[in-house]
Amino acid sequence: MKKNNHKLLDFIQRNGGSITLIGIIFLAIIFRFYQLSTLPPGLHPDEAANGLDIFRILHNHDWRVIYNTNGPREALFFYFQAFFVGIVGNTVLALRIAPAMFGVLAVVFVYLYTKDWFGRRTALIASFLMAVNPWVVTISRDGFRASMTPLMIALVAYFGGLAFKKSKAIYFALAALFFGLGFYTYTAFTMFSLVVVGGLVYLLIFRRDWLKANVRNLLISLAVLLVTLIPLVVTVVRHPGDSTARAGGTSFLNKDLNHGKPIQTLLDSTTKTLLQYNYKGDENSRHNLPGEPLLNTFVGIMLILGLLIAFSRFGRVKYAALIAMFFAMMLPAILTAEGLPHALRSIGTAASAFTLAALGIDYLLGKWYKTFPINAPARVFGTLTFGLLLLLTALIGWQQYFVAWAQDPQTYESYSENMVQISYYLNNNSVQNNYLVAGGYEANPVQYLTYNKSQYKLLDKNSLRDLPLSSNSQLFVFPAGDSSKDLVSILQAKYPNGLLSEHNSTFNNKLLFYSFKVN
């Protein structure tokens, strides 16, 4: 027995890093897939718009680089979602498997690039922090294309780091490939080009010998990048307005948003974005528990320490690159003037923020071990203290997302609980003539969830008033809201014998929608 125990301990000691990484990946899977079919509790119209474009992909073979049905949106993410919609069907879960999967892969590649740049211990800490952080978990469980951004940045950082150290053409090609593919994911990724260009300028100034030695590899990476970008470039050249409308509409230069004070607006957005990590976070329930900082107190302080360490070592390429990654990926939020602070537009900073925080933790651990080089109890105490803080970080992350956020009524409103329940009602209550009285954008979740499952006609208030009387069975459904009283009056006047029913939330019994049956 003692011999077997000795072998087990020896195995754990030899493979502790790998075992820890497997545990972190398992934790990331739990945080991203647990209750994924019901959390988030509904389907936002923007998510549903993705689903409507996916129908064009699956049924009409309408292959595009950018879809403009809900504003310009890069399409690569939709193709991954389409794979799961094709297998699972047009459900809420089908739209969220891909982002959850990308969230897990992002944890893995944050580990890989951080290990390559700063060592295994820092990498394990960084990947753990990312695995359990509620801000990243929230974005990873949404059906929005922004969820791909941390993964693409980590991929470029990993293969770019290998290219720099090993000077092999395959790593240059892979870094260029994923850099190019990143432009097909989310508009905010374009700011990462500043990191790449800045890195080349940095090398031109300080590492010219490396550049001269890798001219061939750089030309290979340039060729791969250009080939990857050809479809996007062609689309942008042909339809420039369609490709830039979204960014222009939210820019701090937009006069409707800056009220004639662009500089003041820019300073305000910069301040709010910088403070979102430690002071006050996004108020939008789709992105965050309203107002909560994106990082807990411990991780937030470690981020600041990590930044100080990185700035003190700015002369080394990896630290300069890490700083550039962090601040460049803040720009998508800083350069906008609405909904600030904006956790979704800032998601690109996640790939570097947790590495910076891990640098801070690793630095303090190193200082502690140097202070007590041979005092075993003191070293164990230091390890246990930081271990407890990391455990609390995981518990806080779980509580914030799966308890506080999941039980917040604003969360249900943000994800159009009413329209999702209308969809399920229509799918289960088909009569001869079904009518949904709602706005077109508002109805996106219904259009997605009822596709090939039930038939209805979409009406607005005026169309309802002008609808000819019929002797056939009819069902009218409309969400509760400011206009619902008028809709009830119109229906009762047209059909005095109709049956009006209220439908409430199973979560908090809030009135969600009305149905009006005419036999």
Looking at residue 453, the DSSP 8-state letter turns out to be T
Name the amino acid, one letter, at 387: G
Q: Where are the beta strands (DSSP E) in 358-473?
A: 433-437, 457-459
436 pairs with which residues across the strands? 458, 477
> Tokens 């992909």 identify what position?
57
C-alpha span between 286 and 47 (Å, rounded): 11
Q: Which two tokens stand for residue 143?
A: 């059906």
Q: Which two tokens stand for residue 194?
A: 């500043």
Residue 455: HSE in the Cβ half-sphere, 13 Å Cα cutoff: 4
CB 142 within 8 A of CB 286: yes
The per-residue DSSP string of 332-361 comes to HHHTB-SSSS-TTTTGGGHHHHHHHHHHHH
Length of the chain, please? 519
**Any idea what the Cα angle at residue 27 is, between residues 22 and 32, rounded to 5°?**
125
Please tell me whether the peptide bond between 293 and the residue prior to it is cis, using omega within 30 degrees of 0.
no
Per-residue pLDDT 10s for the chain (519 aa) are 556 666 766 777 778 889 999 999 999 999 999 999 999 999 999 999 999 999 999 999 999 999 988 888 899 999 999 999 999 999 999 999 999 999 999 999 999 999 999 999 999 999 999 999 999 999 999 989 999 999 999 999 999 999 999 999 999 999 999 999 999 999 999 999 999 999 999 999 888 999 999 999 999 999 999 999 999 999 988 877 665 555 556 777 777 777 788 899 899 999 999 999 999 999 999 999 999 999 999 999 999 999 999 999 998 999 999 999 999 999 999 999 888 999 999 999 999 999 999 999 999 999 998 888 888 888 889 889 999 999 999 999 999 999 999 999 999 999 999 999 999 999 998 777 899 999 989 999 999 999 999 999 999 999 999 999 888 889 999 999 988 999 999 999 999 999 999 999 999 999 999 999 998
> How many other CB atoms are found less than 10 A from the CB of residue 365?
18
Q: Residue 246: its pLDDT value, please?
A: 56
Q: Which domains does the chain have, with CATH numbers?
A: 15-411 (no CATH), 416-518 (3.40.190)
Question: In 3D, which of 29, 25, 28 has the Cα closest to residue 17?
Answer: 25
Q: Residue 247: its pLDDT value, please?
A: 56
> How many other CB atoms are found less than 10 A from the CB of residue 357?
29
Q: Measured in whole angstroms, how far is the alpha carbon of residue 402 from the centre of its chain?
A: 17
| H-state helical runs in 1-70 | 2-14, 16-33, 45-60
Q: Residue 338: its pLDDT value, please?
A: 84
Residue 334 contacts by C-beta under 8 Å, 6 or more apart in sequence?
A: 266, 269, 270, 273
Q: Residue 250: its pLDDT value, please?
A: 75
Collect contacts of 275-282 with beta carbons under 8 A, ≥24 apart: 275/341, 276/341, 276/343, 276/346, 277/303, 277/353, 278/303, 278/304, 280/341, 281/135, 281/341, 281/343, 282/339, 282/341, 282/342, 282/343, 282/344
Q: Measured in whole angstroms, how far is the alpha carbon of residue 306 from the centre of its chain?
A: 24
| H-state helical runs in 190-282 | 192-206, 208-213, 215-238, 240-250, 255-258, 262-275
C-alpha span between 433 and 146 (Å, rounded): 39
